[in-house]
Amino acid sequence: MSYQHILVPVDDSPISYAAVEHAEKFARAFGSQITVMCVLSVDPLRSVDFYKVAPAITQYVLEAEQNAQGRLTDIKQTFLNHGIEIHTCIIRSVPPATGILNVAEEIHADLIIMGSHGRTGLKKLVLGSVAQEVLGSSHVPVLIVKE
């Protein structure tokens, strides 16, 4: 089995860093290209990871976008330094799982590598599980990296 195009959705959490590291190992082993993406949604309860404290929704969205772009730039530079072909994108105004699945289809990804926060109980009920939703709906293999 060979993976030609790997999609790696990230947020600003440590588990995303672990997923990126796994993706780099796969890319080296299979000669894969990588697309690293972020999903920015306006709902602060669903996508809290990039949204730091902001006084108004406009500032909140601007900060989220800056955080996401900074993260993607850092990841892109690391992959380029290691000779791995990489693309980045930011998706806006859709639920995270929907954005991930849409990009996977658009780029013809044959593997998704993503982190799972491992939320349980009330946190999982309120915030949901993006990883679980992607895993249940994806038509391509999904590698879940856990803390």
Domain extents for the chain? 28-113+130-146
Whole-number pLDDT of residue 12: 82
Question: Does domain 28-113+130-146 fall into CATH 3.40.50.300?
Answer: no
One-letter identity of residue 101: L
Beta-bridge partners for 114: 144
pLDDT, position 125:
45
Residues 6+ apart with CB under 8 A from 114: 8, 9, 10, 19, 100, 130, 131, 134, 142, 143, 144, 145
- pLDDT at residue 64, rounded to an integer: 82
pLDDT along the chain (147 residues), means of 10: 93 90 95 95 53 58 86 95 95 91 97 80 54 92 89
pLDDT of residue 1: 73
